Amino acid sequence: MPIETRVALVTGATQGIGRATAFALAEAGFSVAVLARTEADVRAVARELRSRGGAHGGAALPVVADVTVPEDVERALETVVAEFSVLDVLVNNAGTGIRKPFVHMTGAECDFLIDLNLRGLLLCTRAALRYMLPRQRGCIVNIASRAAHLPEPDLAVYSATKAAVVAFSRALAQEVDGQGICVATICPGPVDTERLRRLAPDVDRRGWLQPEDVAHAVVFLASPQAARYNGAVLDLFR
């Protein structure tokens, strides 16, 4: 169903699930802020969003930021609100994985996964809530993983970060309950993205989700019809 024009910020929005989500939200009528670390990539996605035009002509804003850097996150949220006046939806999608036996993981690799998959999500969420809570309106959709429930060998740290995302989301949903904020989590199974193809090059991909499958779930959770889904954890498997 068409959604009144609102404003969404998508992190990790230049490829895979994030890119598909940005386009799905634009098609649903959102103005979309596209956030990633590489300026050329965010500008390219924003240009394409503008050229296609959403169903209701939503705008597109490129935002260059590293979600693991607090100053970057604060500046990014300020930029979005300065441009659009409000922030209605935050999609915490930025994240990655390293497939390696835990005993061979370096400290730097562990820190990298924890910083990107968990700490970056916490920073973005806290910054977004500062704008959402005074309006008593907002939606935060966190992209976790099936690995949060069904951990796999060689993905121990990745699985731990995604399980932490689920626990954080459930706790935060209780904190903001009754304040007009909806916090929901999506736990996709394997998604056919370039990153996952690199992590599992020899795996049969016939049963994998497409990025658009996750994007459509985000659009639903970001819609007014999903306002009662605060605290929901959507397991999206095939």
Residue 223 lies in a domain: yes
At residue 207, the pLDDT reads 79
Residue 91 maps to which CATH number?
3.40.50.720
CA 221 to CA 80: how far, in whole Å? 21
Residue 119 lies in a domain: yes
Residue 194 lies in a domain: yes
At residue 36, the pLDDT reads 98
Q: In what order do the strands lie in the sheet with 31-36?
A: 60-64, 31-36, 7-11, 89-92, 138-143, 181-188, 233-236
Which residue among the candidates 84, 131, 158, 208 is catalytic per the annotation? 158
At residue 53, the pLDDT reads 64
CA 98 to CA 96: how far, in whole Å? 7
Residue 1 lies in a domain: no
At residue 57, the pLDDT reads 53
Residue 2 lies in a domain: no
Residue 49 lies in a domain: yes
Tally the domains of the chain.
Answer: 1
- Asked about 131 being catalytic, the answer comes back as no
At residue 208, the pLDDT reads 82
Below-70 pLDDT ranges, the chain: 1-5, 53-58, 196-197, 199-201, 238
- Buried b vs exposed e over 152-169: b needs ≥16 C-beta within 10 Å? eebbbbbbbbbbbbbebb
- State which residues form the domain around 46: 7-236
At residue 2, the pLDDT reads 47
- In eight-state DSSP terms, residue 5 is -
At residue 133, the pLDDT reads 98
At residue 193, the pLDDT reads 81
CA 123 to CA 147: how far, in whole Å? 22
CA 13 to CA 80: how far, in whole Å? 15
